[in-house]
Structure 1
């Protein structure tokens, strides 16, 4: 494997060539990254390692604090915010593990919306076709891994914001059980639903990054046997309006997993999904909690323009009474417990990550009705893991003209099991 410095310089030269129209990264740390890469190479030469992330080229979403600079979270409003006094907890842990932090990646404003567009910093084009949306909110993270300008990207996932861009850009994306990874120094959207997860080219890379961020000792990832693996398929709402190529690819993946010895059976969760929809009818948890975070400027008016796709839903959620919010949180806890019980008979729940492939950026900008429908479909399957406090991973599915993901979900706290199952499925399907 080439040295960390050589790999870094290849990436930096690619970024320099498009410096006049950079939309994937919002900030680069060239000299700091070079120093970290050189240190990693020196350790390697001396036969010393800090672990599997030592010398890996990593980017972080533009909502993680880096000491000495404002955290803009994809918004013009925060360009002049006070500098962060210290690195975010996960940034400190990544540095301590020898990761070479290259820069910050673009995102949707305040981590809201799933399309991946940004009015202030530009919209990163999809890694496979720049005319297509990247998916959000960790838009730049998905594109950076997909195009090879990061070996690992760190994003946040509130309703699918790691897994949606992973699906649309053809990479692996992992959402942990939320409580496992500290969120100190990460600009919040929803204190209940936010989780921090990696995007990478392989399950093993995601598992290594997740372990470091969770403060665990990275261990060799040994794929589980697929023989006897119990896979539940939530036929029903999560399969409606699925594009033909996505449905076909999913069925082909399922057939391969079944031939490898897995036990596959339908497992309906539509009643729980309907109960969650009813509980969040007045306002989603993300919108209500986001409205509280942004209450000051929502009340007085923003000092600079804010994307109306962000300000609109937050403004409406601000009007929802506190009693409704408290009732929603209480109901969510009960429904998460019911989902835990429902999933006790299986190892993983499998579905398409996104029922559609990436539409064009132009179509999303020119047709509000089409945008609204696309956003609803992009979020529909992924948000289940956040709403019910599960862990989940998206793997690239072979056999589609444009990238689409296979999503595996597991019970709260079963992250390590999920990684082992996902590694086995990845080996069976092959990497793109």
Structure 2
């Protein structure tokens, strides 16, 4: 369990029967260091106060079990960590759990906690959720407080919850965002209009998405979403620049994992011209998403284009950057996006159905996800 959750003595005032939650190790808990699962930050001083989301969760009656493990410095998609250990994938221990919020997804999938908090800068909630067969929500950018969350400054990062069912996910979201309307987030009972985004993905995953649409009996039409690939590339440029600013100084410590050191050195080479171009794409892609959502309730597509690769393949150098091709763009645009597990014919693994909504309409995204959940019988 130590590779999944570092247990703490913190708890809310009344823990008898209280729902349990794990907190990703980029989120401050008073009295404990925030290490981002990195040897370079292992001697960080204890946090002076709780992150606002932790305090909100405690005030709402959640029992905080401990700090969840993660991909080092939240800068990777595999979840592999040779310093703190690699959390097991609950669906298949031979496969990667996904990153960077690997421990949060693993802990929920293994029933160690009822819910967990992660952060999502380039798909780091939705990716692990899809890998581990659980639900993960990236809220609208700015909807949930990032005070007390590393990195301190980000134009992409969002704190959000993981859970095994929508009822618990909605409760967790309400726990960290007091203005979240749980009544509006209940199952959507009126007709739903859905636009299914045409993308490249494994045929079995595309079929699983279509099967979910059919079961939910929603009005769906296919669309092309302009600039999706450009937004993926632009998101990479922005996360590289912002992560380099936040953590680039740690390269000099010589204490980073080899993969992190290489990525940070590459990230440091991001140019101002690349960032300017990325910001232009951000504006155009955001407008394209809002145009696509103008006459539908949500966009749907796979969360990941393929099932997670094995840990062995990842260690042997198989690239995982394409894992984020369908999720990273919505960090750039700031729209709320949720990953819901869906069955794949002929596979013991579940894939993820990504549901994207209008900015600020996180409750609607959850309500429609609950409708799909009920139709799937999960």
TM-score by length of 1: 0.82
Q: Which residue of 2 aligns with 1:110?
A: 73
Report the alpha carbon displacement of residue 163 of structure 1 after superposing the two structures with TM. 1.0
1:248 aligns with 2:207: yes
Find the aligned partners of 2:140 and 2:227 in 1 and give their Cα distance. 19
Find the aligned partners of 1:428 and 1:154 in 2 and give their Cα distance. 26
Report the alpha carbon displacement of residue 114 of structure 1 after superposing the two structures with TM. 0.9
Alpha carbons 1:272, 1:339 under 8 Å: kept: no
Q: Which residue of 2 aligns with 1:69?
A: 32
Q: Which residue of 2 aligns with 1:136?
A: 99
**What secondary structure, in the 3-state scheme, does the structure 1 residue paired with 2:279 have?**
helix
1:285 aligns with 2:226: no
Alpha carbons 1:157, 1:175 under 8 Å: kept: yes
Alpha carbons 2:173, 2:180 under 8 Å: kept: no
**What secondary structure, in the 3-state scheme, does the structure 2 residue paired with 1:316 have?**
helix
Q: Which protein is richer in helix relative to its size?
A: 1
Runs of 4+ deviating beyond 6 Å: none
Using a 3 Å threshold, how does the CA distance of structure 1 residues 190 and 404 change in structure 2: closer, same or farther?
A: farther
- Unaligned 5+ segments in structure 1 are 1-14, 16-21, 42-53
Using a 3 Å threshold, how does the CA distance of structure 1 residues 248 and 186 change in structure 2: closer, same or farther?
A: same
**Paired residues, what number?**
375
The 5 A counterparts of 1:3-18 are 15=1
Q: Which residue of 2 aligns with 1:122?
A: 85
The 5 A counterparts of 1:308-323 are 308-323=258-273
Root mean square deviation of aligned Cα: 2.0
**CA offsets per residue over residues 373-399 of structure 1, 9 Å max, x none?**
xx1232111112212211011111024
Report the alpha carbon displacement of residue 80 of structure 1 after superposing the two structures with TM. 0.7
1:276 aligns with 2:231: yes
- Unaligned 5+ segments in structure 2 are none
Alpha carbons 1:226, 1:424 under 8 Å: kept: no
Report the alpha carbon displacement of residue 192 of structure 1 after superposing the two structures with TM. 0.7
**What secondary structure, in the 3-state scheme, does the structure 1 residue paired with 2:337 have?**
strand
Alpha carbons 1:356, 1:377 under 8 Å: kept: no
Report the alpha carbon displacement of residue 203 of structure 1 after superposing the two structures with TM. 1.4
Using a 3 Å threshold, how does the CA distance of structure 1 residues 127 and 274 change in structure 2: closer, same or farther?
A: closer
TM-score by length of 2: 0.93
**CA offsets per residue over residues 14-34 of structure 1, 9 Å max, x none?**
x5xxxxxx3111x202x444x
Rg larger for: 1
Alpha carbons 1:111, 1:189 under 8 Å: kept: no
Q: Which residue of 2 aligns with 1:146?
A: 109
Find the aligned partners of 1:319 and 1:416 in 2 and give their Cα distance. 39
Alpha carbons 1:156, 1:195 under 8 Å: kept: yes
**CA offsets per residue over residues 49-73 of structure 1, 9 Å max, x none?**
xxxxx81011111111111221100
